[in-house]
Amino acid sequence: MSKVSNIMRLALLQLKGSKDKTVNVQNAVSKIEAVVKEHQPRLITLPECFNAPYGTKYFREYSETIPDGYTSQQLSNLAKKHQVYIVGGTIPELGENDAIYNTCTVWAPSGDLIAKHRKMHLFDIDVKGGIRFKESETLSAGNDFTTIDVDGHKIGIGICYDIRFEEMARLYRNEGCEMIIYPAAFNMTTGPLHWELLQRSRANDNQLFVVTTSPARDSSAEYVAYGHSMIVDPWAKIQKSAGDGEETVVADIDFSLVEQVRQQIPVFSQRRLDLYATARHGQ
C-alpha cells in the first residue's frame, strides 16, 4: 500500500488494572472513547495483559478465544465505530489444544482482526532478591512474527520480553518496518534498569520508532508494573513518555525521520556481512 501521509497520530493508553475483567475492559472502552473524542488518533495502543491480573495463576481463568471472546468483540466494535486501528495490548488467549497464549490482537477500522501476535519469548527469569516469574508454567510460546500495514507504514508487533531479543527487531527492520509496537509490563526490578535502555537500543540499532504501552503502576498488586509507556524515535530520542499512573499519551509520529536517519547514518549498507558470516567467535 502506498503511504497516505508521513504523519500518524498515536494514542497510548496506560491503564489501571484490577481483578475484575469487565471493569478492566470497560475502563479501556471509556478511555478509547475519550481519546477519540478529544484527539482523533489514527492508532491506539493498550497495555500488556490489560483485561486480567498479570500472573501465571490467572492466565487460564481469564483466557478467552479470539476473535469471538468478550474482549475481542469490544475492541472490534470500537475500532469500527471510531474508524481507528487498535493494537489491543495483550490478553490471555485460549488457543487450540487447550493451550494458553499471551496474545496481542490488532483491529482495523473495518472492525476486522488483521493480526494476532502470540508472545514468542516467554518471560522466565529468576533475579535473586528481585523477581522470579515463569510464564512457561502456564503459557505456550507463539511461533510467528507479525507485521501490519497502517496507511502504507509497516509496523512490527512484539510483546514485552520480546523486546530483549535484538534478532526479532532486526528481522522486522529487514522486512521494512518503520516502527515496532510492544505492549509490555516491565516490573520494579527490571524497569528502572532496562525499560528505557532496551527501547532506545532497539530504536537505535534498527533506525525505527519503538512504542511501548504499559499498565499503570499499582503498588498493591502482586505484580507491580513499571509504567512509563514511551515513544522513542529513530534517532533513539524519547519523543514522549508517561509517568507511572493512569495516563494517556498522544503524539504525532513523523515517519520521514526513519528515512532521514537511515540516509544520514547508513549502517545497514555498511555492515560487513561477508565477515560476520564466517566469524569464529560466538553465534
- Residue among 185 and 251 whose Cβ is closer to ligand LQR7VSFR: 185
CA pair distance 83, 111, nearest whole angstrom: 8
In the region spanning residues 147 to 206, those forming contacts with ligand LQR7VSFR, defined by CB under 6 A, are 160-161, 164, 185-187, 190, 194
19-41 b/e (C-beta count within 10 Å ≥ 16 → b): eebeebbebbeebbeebbeeeeb
Q: Residue 276 is inside which H or E element, if any?
A: helix 273-276
Write down the least CB distance from residue 147 to ligand LQR7VSFR, Å: 20
Residue 164 Cβ vs ligand LQR7VSFR, minimum distance, rounded to whole Å: 6
Q: Which is nearer to ligand LQR7VSFR, 27 or 187 (CB)?
A: 187
**Shorter beta-carbon distance to ligand LQR7VSFR: residue 143 or 278:** 143
DSSP 44-59: EE--TTTTS-SSTTTH
Q: Which residues are catalytic?
A: 48, 119, 160
Nearest distance in Å: CB 190, ligand LQR7VSFR: 3
Q: Is 262 helix (H, G, I), strand (E, B) or coil?
A: helix
Nearer to ligand LQR7VSFR by Cβ, of 10 and 49: the residue is 49
- Tell me how far, at minimum, the Cβ of 43 lies from ligand LQR7VSFR, in Å: 22
CB neighbourhood size of 245 (10 A): 11
- CA–CA separation, 42 and 39 (whole Å): 9
Q: How far is the CB of 105 from ligand LQR7VSFR (least distance, A)?
A: 17
Q: How far is the CB of 118 from ligand LQR7VSFR (least distance, A)?
A: 13
Q: Is 169 helix (H, G, I), strand (E, B) or coil?
A: helix
* Distance separating alpha carbons of residues 57 and 249, to the nearest angstrom: 31
**164 or 240: CB nearest ligand LQR7VSFR:** 164
Residue closer to ligand LQR7VSFR by CB (options 190, 239) is 190
Among 257, 163, 253, CA closest to 213: 163
Q: According to CB under 6 A, which residues from 93 to 152 bind ligand LQR7VSFR?
A: 123
CA distance 180 to 229: 14
Q: d(Cα 9, Cα 7) in Å, to the nearest integer?
A: 7
Closest CA to 216 of 186, 182, 247: 247
Binding site for ligand LQR7VSFR (CB under 6 A): 123, 160-161, 164, 185-187, 190, 194
